[in-house]
Structure 1
Amino acid sequence: MGEGDAGMSRTDSAEFVQLYSKIAQALAVSGVVGQSPDALLSIQWPGIVVTPHLDPDDPETKYMVSNLLNAALECNYVVTPKAGLVSDIYQLILNGKETPEIGLSPEQKAELAKAEGYLEVDGEPSPQLRDYVEYEAVFYAAQDLLFEARATEQNGGPLVPPEVIARYREARQAWDEHGHREEVETALATVKQLQAREPYVYWQQLADRFDTGTERLANGSAFQVVDSVPRYKDWFRDEQWTPFRFDPDDFANQPRSGGTGMRGCDGRCCCSVRSGDEVSPGRMPAWNRQSSILAARHVESGMDEAGPAASGAESPFFLSCSMKRISIVRPWMDSSVFSSRLWKWSAQSIGRGTVISTGGSVVGNEPATGVLPILPTTALLVKDVELILSSREAYDWILDKIEAGREVRYGPFSLNAYSEPSTRHLRMVPGASGVVSGSPQILGFISTLIGRCPHPDMTLPWPS
């Protein structure tokens, strides 16, 4: 038994914790000292199946993508939607803030204009910023590949291939040299520091951006367009996928992630946004039995049924998939508003007294609370989901449920097809009983914990 299962029995919940922990380590969001204390991985329960190759210019497609990426979440390692959307809370701030009576000096205005000009040309991202984003995506794909391989090696699997290490080093150097990393990050820091110190101009620009980022469906419903990098039309291209695996060695040896201590809603809520569900207040879909690593849901009744206890950890198995980061882009939002000390609620605001976030720490196991305790920054897309099982009981149970039209999941992975094992599968899991697979799906989100907000600097002059 390894470090990861100290004090844990081979239970379904332990199996999920180990699976979560390896995914978090591969994505460098394990919630341990040395990593960002503000980065949290929240796993979807189960994954939201995503339809590829829809028309990206169709308003309905834009709405689908925007709705998927706009949910406000609890500070929980299992995706737990809050009432409202990110855009709702942001709009509440736009409409209800009060700003200090301050301004920029001529020198500061010139410094800000220079930084803004470096990042934007005629209202569009500058070539330097485009390069930065492009090389950043390549770097994180290389880092995910390296960290997943390291976790596999540490858990008793194959050694990290030398080419994986070389690819990581090349990607890091390319981001520094060709992605204008230092220059872009310096300009971004300057804008963040100075822009809000010219309150009238700044907040008017934010209001204009929000209006520009709002579109309507044919029925007149308004929504804020949420984009991504890569854009939806490129989600399923071959670039920047990271192979991921989970097997009995990982179950036995994977160090536990600090993220599993983040349990907003008192740790009781394990609800998720499901494909076809609206993101609405209080939605609690039936996938709420976190103790069951294997389960099936009856579509009509909404009831879920736990599978055989010996689903994986008690017998040889092999789970594999490919993962890709989808960076969330909200063109109508400036996320620095949530960390700014240059606004507070006005006395007349309907938001007066509302706590956006109390602040918290993943490393310190301190969940943030509030109406928007975390801000999702990255969606985790997976494809080629495949689970090889040696347990005949588990495989037959899955087969029966799929044949009966049930929605089946293993941990967070939604499964909808099965097959007999091939020669390749039998080499990977000798004596395999069957193979279960899943469609492309959003498996979860990486979010940033929002610090104390609002947190106005009361040493500044305020109108009231």
Structure 2
Amino acid sequence: MKNWNTDFFEKLYAKLSVSLIENSRTHLFTMSNPGKFLPSGLNPGVKLEDAAILSSIVEQVPEFSWVEKQKGRKISEVYNSILNYKESPANTGTPERMAKLREAEMQYDRYIEEYQVHKYAYDAVQLEYLSAKATQENGGAKIPRTLMIKHEQTVNKWIARGRKNQVELSLAIIKEYQPLDAANFWKQAGEQFQNGQHTTNTGAVFQLTDFYPNYKYWFENSGWSAFSFDQQDLDQQRKSGLTGLTGDLDPSFGIFNLSNKQSDRNQQSFLKMEETAVKVECQLKQIHIERKWLKPLVLSSNAWRMDKNSAEPNLSLSSGADLEKGIVPVGEMTLLPVSAIICKNLKVNGRFADDVVQKINGEIERNELAVGFGPFAIADQRYGQNERVRGMVTNQVIEVTEEQIIGIICEILPKMPNPNPQLPWKK
């Protein structure tokens, strides 16, 4: 029997995903159920405790799933296992290759800052453009001509001012040759990891994660893109193949969710809605995750394997994915979070039954359970803080103005380890 609640949630995910992900072969959007209200009043540039709170938001290894789930290990723990227990081949870089590598590294360092500024500007416009494109394809309003021009101009600026082609050519050379200079490659990786480690005044050790834009800009009015999901989208939006490939929803699933996050186990229950016309409107912003302590080439290099005599000789991080063929990866770390999606000014118009509204408002008043509508939080504590945020729920509308994370964009990691048998490994 068709469950309207499941259908609504899956199609909302599908539109969000195509609005956020340009290439579904390399990236996956994992949606919250429900979201997390952002901590407020932090000063991460001065207080390490505040920096630790923000870093912890994206430190857990996610499961390979379209609905956000966590495997339990920290990304830094898994990555450090590679640094500590890997085995690398002897240096195989020729003088000619090493000279080409040094030249590429210099060009990369020279232009990477400009490249990232223009790439992030492109990503912001791309979110707005892809969302408008999805609306158009579902039979809604056409993409505004002004947005099409803006999109093209942003791409051209990234190419011209951001040195897109030069940086990506340099990166391709670095990716090919840097792991061949094994001693320097792993020395740099170890130093980066150590330099990213910090200790709070209470003695908590953490790896510092930076964000772009910086935390203080998350709450500003610039950089937001409008997003909507209405009955026409519900009727026309094609479901993502991921919703069946990477796990089905619980049979008891309802669009309203109640969870007790204070107990030892995060216990969750659902409330179903009767089928009704619902329109979701909100604003979205993409926050890029920057782990300066993690060397990305480690995760794509075929010039390492796990040492057979190490503490984790059989560590398999990812078996590799081919979603078009229905192959879902397994392993300790199949995804790497690269961006957080935050939402504000949520407004859901519809007809909500009296008993559901009374139940939801009763739980909000009790201040005990986290209350959500699909990926959106309605009432909960701010992440890492005791302050509680409460939205408004009536028979006609749900409104939540506060900023919250509603999902994470992840890079789909390749097979790891995947050592090249042609390299000079120890016998």
TM-score, normalised with respect to structure 1: 0.84
Paired residue secondary structure (1:363): helix
The answer to whether 1:109 aligns with 2:98 is yes
Distance 2:123 2:186 in 1: 33
Shift of 1:186: 0.9
For the Cα contact (< 8 Å) 2:101–2:174, is it kept in 1?
Answer: yes
Aligned to 1:59: 48
Aligned to 2:382: none
Aligned residues: 412
Which residue among 157, 181, 189 is the counterpart of 2:164? 181
Which residue among 85, 100, 105 is the counterpart of 2:89? 100
Distance 2:251 2:211 in 1: 31
User: CA distance change for structure 1 residues 290 and 448 in 2, over 3 Å: closer, same or farther?
Assistant: farther
Q: Larger deviation: 288-297 or 170-179?
A: 288-297
Paired residue secondary structure (2:311): coil
- The within-5 A match list for 1:239-258 is 239-258=222-241
Unaligned runs of 5+ in 1: 1-7, 30-34, 121-125, 271-287, 422-431
For the Cα contact (< 8 Å) 1:12–1:293, is it kept in 2?
Answer: yes
Shift of 1:233: 2.2
- The within-5 A match list for 1:138-157 is 138-157=121-140
The answer to whether 1:345 aligns with 2:275 is no
- The within-5 A match list for 1:22-421 is 22-28=15-21, 35-57=23-45, 58-120=47-109, 126=110, 128-263=111-246, 267=247, 291-298=253-260, 303-310=267-274, 314-393=275-354, 394-405=356-367, 406-416=369-379, 417-419=390-392
Q: Larger deviation: 433-442 or 340-349?
A: 433-442
For the Cα contact (< 8 Å) 1:258–1:365, is it kept in 2?
Answer: no
Unaligned runs of 5+ in 2: 380-389
For the Cα contact (< 8 Å) 2:68–2:407, is it kept in 1?
Answer: yes
For the Cα contact (< 8 Å) 1:51–1:440, is it kept in 2?
Answer: no
Distance 2:55 2:283 in 1: 23
For the Cα contact (< 8 Å) 2:5–2:272, is it kept in 1?
Answer: no
TM-score, normalised with respect to structure 2: 0.90
Post-superposition CA distance 1:139-187 (Å, at most 9, x none): 1111111111121122232222211111111111111111110011111
Distance 2:272 2:412 in 1: 36
Aligned to 1:429: none
User: CA distance change for structure 1 residues 303 and 369 in 2, over 3 Å: closer, same or farther?
Assistant: closer
Distance 2:198 2:328 in 1: 34
Distance 1:300 1:180 in 2: 49
Distance 2:286 2:124 in 1: 8
Shift of 1:399: 2.6
Paired residue secondary structure (2:78): helix
Shift of 1:420: 8.1
Q: Which amino acid aligns with 1:399?
A: N
For the Cα contact (< 8 Å) 1:368–1:374, is it kept in 2?
Answer: no
Distance 1:299 1:82 in 2: 17
For the Cα contact (< 8 Å) 2:62–2:69, is it kept in 1?
Answer: yes
Aligned to 2:384: none
Aligned to 1:5: none
Distance 1:331 1:305 in 2: 39
User: CA distance change for structure 1 residues 400 and 170 in 2, over 3 Å: closer, same or farther?
Assistant: same
Distance 1:344 1:198 in 2: 16
For the Cα contact (< 8 Å) 2:36–2:405, is it kept in 1?
Answer: yes
Distance 1:443 1:419 in 2: 18
RMSD: 2.1
Distance 1:53 1:420 in 2: 26
Post-superposition CA distance 1:400-431 (Å, at most 9, x none): 3322323211111001345588xxxxxxxxxx
Shift of 1:116: 1.3
Aligned to 2:407: 444
Q: Larger deviation: 155-164 or 66-75?
A: 155-164
Paired residue secondary structure (1:159): coil
